[in-house]
Amino acid sequence: MSIETAAKDLAYELSRQSSVEILCHHDADGIAAGSIMAMALYRAGIPFRLRITHRLSEDNIPKTRPLLLCDLGAGLARLPEETMVIDHHLPYFEGPHHVNPRHDGIDGDTDLCAAGTAYLVANALGDNRDLAGLTLLGVIGDGQTLTGKNQDIYLGALGNGIISKKRGIILPGRTPAEQIELSTEPFLYGISGSKEESLNIIRTSTIDDTLQGDILCSLLVLQAAERCRPETLDSIWGDMWMLEREVIEHAHNMAFIVDSCGKAGHGSIAVSLCLRSSKLTEKAYEIARTHRLALIQEMNQFLASSQDDKKGPIMCSDQHLTSDLADTVFRNIPDSSPVIIAVQKNDGTCSCSIRTDGRSGKYAGEIVRQLALEYGGYGGGHQNRAGATVACEYLDTFSSKVVEAFSS
């Protein structure tokens, strides 16, 4: 079945409901997907409730029905059959209302995110083309590319004036100095997290009271190139996607803020931005800034530690930072693969985020899922990015198995 047909079928199923419970993942892609569906349901006159969660397992599936999962659910084989799912992860759930690009041979790691999939369903419900800008939050947040269906949505939005683009520095932040201060991709050693050092870079890049973008970009590349992975430098300069209909114009900024607010436990604020309320924009910026500075502090602590084995589990002090710390370590330390970041939770389990370089040719999401199941946990993910939850007593053994799997 084509994804367009699947989207139409799910839209029809949604149109038959008197109300819908939406549950979405807490990152930029999940929140954008949930918000797109919330807006589409509202416009179609269908009441809804939107909630956000960190992870979903077969032990904590909400009992409220009808239930729509966004950026969640594909990996749960034993979901109730009537559950509606919009996802792009490897599909194990075989219910009739599961819209997933992989069912149509589309690469869900690169060519269509959950937000893009939700956009297809939303437009099968009605004319919701103005929501196309939100799909970029998923593309940016999940590190996807403007290829395949992502490109189709992007070009349509560009042609309709929903988005525009220009070239420039794409690091998140409200000012050039803040962009440098909050940079983690690349991580600027001795500069990231320091307002004064960031201002020094700005002063050096300023001639006759005018900031010279080419000089600034060159300084940042020179500062980062010696240590980070070469592809990480692409995060400094590129296409700036401008969201003409959203409350935050710069797509990279909005993705950063929505993602940070969601992971920091302020998902309702992230959703309010996606639903075009500007009342809490400044608060959202401050939450995102605090979240990023905490991440930089964790990274500095890791770099200052005496841990020689970068392939063992790296313990994080804050469960809200595990995924971002895994990305930061992986993208800035070239020989770090796999990266395993873990945090101990109050229930005796450890939540882990895993990153690999892909050289093994193995699909991280599937390997991690199987290993987590072996130790009574659960997990899943993408080609080179995965997450899992296991009992803390098995963390070292689980981590060793992960390292072994991707080293052979």
193 touches 293 (CB < 8 A): yes
Same domain, 230 and 331: no
CATH code: domain of residue 94: 3.90.1640.30
CA-nearest of 112, 35, 394, 401 to 386 is 401
CATH code: domain of residue 373: 3.10.310.40
On whether residue 147 sits in a domain, the answer given is: yes
Same domain, 175 and 212: yes
350 CA to centre of own chain: 20
Break the chain down into helix, strand, coil percent, rounded to 5.
45, 15, 35
On whether residue 106 sits in a domain, the answer given is: yes
346 CA to centre of own chain: 25
| Cis? peptide before 186, omega within 30° of 0 | yes
Residue 200 is predicted with a pLDDT of 96
Same domain, 231 and 177: yes
287 touches 266 (CB < 8 A): yes
Q: In the chain, how many domains are there?
A: 3
Instruction: Provide the token pair at 404.
Output: 């072994």
C-beta neighbour count of 378 within 10 angstroms: 21
Same domain, 36 and 97: yes
Residue 336 is predicted with a pLDDT of 81
The C-alpha atoms of residue 336 and residue 181 are separated, in whole angstroms, by: 24
On whether residue 388 sits in a domain, the answer given is: yes
Same domain, 97 and 129: yes
Contacts of 153 (CB under 8 A, 6+ apart): 116, 119, 132, 135
State the burial class of residue 305 (Cβ atoms within 10 Å of its Cβ: 0-12, 13-18, 19+).
Answer: exposed
Residue 188 is predicted with a pLDDT of 96
On whether residue 246 sits in a domain, the answer given is: no
Residue 335 is predicted with a pLDDT of 83
Q: Which of 106, 139, 162 is the last residue of a domain?
A: 162
CA-nearest of 235, 285, 288 to 259 is 288
Segment-wise mean pLDDT, segments of 10 residues, the chain, 408 residues: 97 98 98 98 98 89 92 94 97 96 98 98 98 98 97 98 96 97 96 97 96 94 92 94 98 98 97 98 98 97 72 87 96 89 89 93 95 95 95 95 89
Instruction: Provide the token pair at 68.
Output: 């729509």
Residues written for the chain:
408
b/e map 393-403, b = 16+ CB within 10 Å: ebbeebbebbb
Return the SS3 of 111.
coil
Same domain, 26 and 157: yes
Same domain, 288 and 358: no
Residue 307 is predicted with a pLDDT of 55
b/e map 137-166, b = 16+ CB within 10 Å: bbbbbbbbebebbbeebbeebeeeebbeee
Integer-rounded Cα Rg, in Å, for the chain is 21
Distances (CA, A) of 180 to 18, 224, 240, 297: 48, 11, 16, 15
State the burial class of residue 213 (Cβ atoms within 10 Å of its Cβ: 0-12, 13-18, 19+).
Answer: middle
Domain that includes residue 128, residue range:
3-162
Same domain, 84 and 43: yes
The C-alpha atoms of residue 365 and residue 108 are separated, in whole angstroms, by: 12
pTM above 0.85, yes or no: yes
Q: Which of 132, 162, 192 is the last residue of a domain?
A: 162
Residue 192 is predicted with a pLDDT of 98
99 touches 120 (CB < 8 A): yes
C-beta neighbour count of 204 within 10 angstroms: 12
Give the H/E segment covering residue 334: none
On whether residue 186 sits in a domain, the answer given is: yes
Q: Which of 107, 127, 162 is the last residue of a domain?
A: 162
| Residue listed under structure tokens 């395993």 | 340
The C-alpha atoms of residue 288 and residue 272 are separated, in whole angstroms, by: 15
The C-alpha atoms of residue 221 and residue 294 are separated, in whole angstroms, by: 24
Same domain, 72 and 177: no
On whether residue 261 sits in a domain, the answer given is: no
On whether residue 192 sits in a domain, the answer given is: yes
Same domain, 29 and 155: yes
Same domain, 109 and 131: yes
Same domain, 102 and 50: yes
On whether residue 384 sits in a domain, the answer given is: yes
242 touches 165 (CB < 8 A): yes
